[in-house]
Structure formats: C-alpha cells, structure tokens
Amino acid sequence: MMQRILFIFCLALIISCGDEEPNLTVTGKVNGLKKGTLYLERLQDTMLVKLDSMLVNGEPEFVLQANLEEPEVLYITLSTTNADNDIPRVPFFAAKGTTRITTSLKRFYHDAKIEGSRQQEMMNQYNDMIKQFTDKNLDNIKFEFDFRNDSLKLDSVRKVSESLLKRKYLYSVNFAMQNKTNHIAPFIAISELQDANTTYLDTLYNVLPDSIANSKYGKQLSDLIKDRKKTQNDM
C-alpha cells in the first residue's frame, strides 16, 4: 500500500515538474472588437504555431500567456467571422514579463501600440527610422512614374532610390552593430538584411557575444551566412 502511495506521489511530482509556468503575459485591448478569437503565435520553421488563445465576446480586453526560453518575435492574430482573406496580425518582440498591446479592429496592424520588453522598445525605434526610408522611397516611386518618358530625369530618380536603399542597409547594419549584445541584432540581420552584402552579415555575426550568437536568431544568422557563402562558391 505504501509503495502504491509513493508511486502515485512520484508520478504527480513528475507531471507537475513537466508543466512549465508561463513567464510571458500579453494583455491588451482591441477597440471595436465585439466577437472573435485572438491567438498568440510563434513562427516555427515556416509555420505559425499557436501558443495560447482567447475567445472575445463583448469585452475587448484580452490576456494571453506563454513560456519563453529567450526573447523572440511572437504574433497576435485575430480571427473573426468576417470572410476576409487578409488575416490581421501584429508582430512584437516578446520577453519574460508583461507586454501590453492596444489596437483597433479596423486597423489591427497599423494602430498597434506595444509596450513591454526592452527589445520591443528598440524595435519601435528601429521601425520609426525605417518608415522614413520607406516613405521617401514611395515618393521616389511616384517620381519614376511621372518621369517615365524622360530618360534623364528617370535615371536621376533611380539613382536616388539606389542611394536610399544603401542608406537603409547601412542604418540597419549600424543599428544591429550598436546593439550587438541584444537579441534584436541578429533578428534585424535575418529579417531586414537578407539581400545585403555577405560581408556585412559576417562582420555583424563575428562581433556577437556567445549568448547572442547561440540564440535562436543568432543560429539563423549563422545558417544564412553559410548558405550565402556556399551559393557564392558554387557559382
């Protein structure tokens, strides 16, 4: 009898130890949302995997939880009854602790305000500058259309576009280098600099501390560099 009780106790202990307590809590509000389901998702390989979900029915506030081993980009995805092929999704840089996301039903992505991790603060700063490059490039595209019949002006506009692209790459590289001790550095490299010169990527990877180089995004950056070099050698 005692052996049976001991066995049950040990089994319960093993099960309880296997259940990881959430170390990330995502709270928020979707203004205008009356009914729908919100998902907390992670990109695993090439697929989004659901970590948590919550049915919203009348109250726009939500709470989602997950367990993180390290800071990484997660996604809040909204599913409603609307027959819309465009799935509303907000990416954010999650870390242990609490993140708050407020947005609206109509402009789920564009109205998102995210407060939480240090990585997200840095991502907000980075995105603000990248938006300036993007806006300037959009203006340039309009000029390309206006000057499509004037080869000299069109050539000048295209040179400006090339200059903007180079400046964007250099800003991204410099931002990543300046924040090399943070998980955001390799993430920017794999998400924004995939087409950049391999030398830039190699230089960045070589200055990453071991803790970042061995992280999820550090390993992905290493794989990207290896693939690029292999392709170049095969040419």
Q: Residue 43 is part of a domain; what is its CATH number? A: 2.60.40.1120
Same domain, 131 and 104: no
In tens, the pLDDT along 122-169 reads 999 999 999 998 888 787 777 666 766 767 777 777 787 888 888 888
pTM: 0.82
Q: Which of 103, 58, 115, 96 is nearest to 78 (CA)?
A: 103
Which residue's structure tokens are 């200059």?
Answer: 163
Is residue 166, in this structure, part of any structural domain at all? yes
Q: Give the pLDDT of residue 229.
A: 87
In tens, the pLDDT along 109-131 reads 999 999 989 999 999 999 999 99
Is residue 14, in this structure, part of any structural domain at all? no
Q: Give the pLDDT of residue 10.
A: 41
- Do β-strands 35-44 and 47-57 pair in parallel, antiparallel, or remain unpaired? antiparallel
> Rounded to 5 degrees, what are φ and ψ at 212?
-90, -40
Q: Give the pLDDT of residue 59.
A: 87
3-state helix, strand, coil in the chain (%, to 5): 50, 25, 25
Q: Give the pLDDT of residue 9.
A: 42
> Rounded to 5 degrees, what are φ and ψ at 142?
-65, -40
Is residue 10, in this structure, part of any structural domain at all? no
Please name the residues in contact with 81: beta carbons below 8 A apart, sequence gap of 6 or more: 35, 36
Same domain, 92 and 141: no
Q: Give the pLDDT of residue 81.
A: 64
Residue ending a domain, choose from 114, 135, 161:
114
d(CA 93, CA 73): 4
Is residue 16, in this structure, part of any structural domain at all? no
Residue ending a domain, choose from 82, 114, 146:
114
Q: What residue ranges of the chain have pLDDT lower than 70? A: 1-19, 81-85, 143-145, 147-148, 150, 234-235
Same domain, 129 and 187: yes
Burial 195-212 (b: 16+ CB within 10 A, else e): ebeeebbeebbeebeeeb
d(CA 46, CA 25): 24
Same domain, 105 and 156: no
Residue ending a domain, choose from 54, 87, 114:
114
Q: Give the pLDDT of residue 156.
A: 76
Is residue 154, in this structure, part of any structural domain at all? yes
Beta bridge partners of 29: 61, 102
Same domain, 64 and 136: no
Dihedral of CA atoms 112, 79, 74, 138 in degrees, nearest 10, equals -50
If one counts the domains in the chain, the total is 2
Q: Evaluate whether 156 touches 146 at the Cβ level (below 8 Å).
A: no
Q: Give the pLDDT of residue 82.
A: 59
Same domain, 91 and 136: no
Same domain, 70 and 131: no
Same domain, 43 and 101: yes
Q: Which domain holds residue 84?
A: 21-114
Same domain, 92 and 136: no
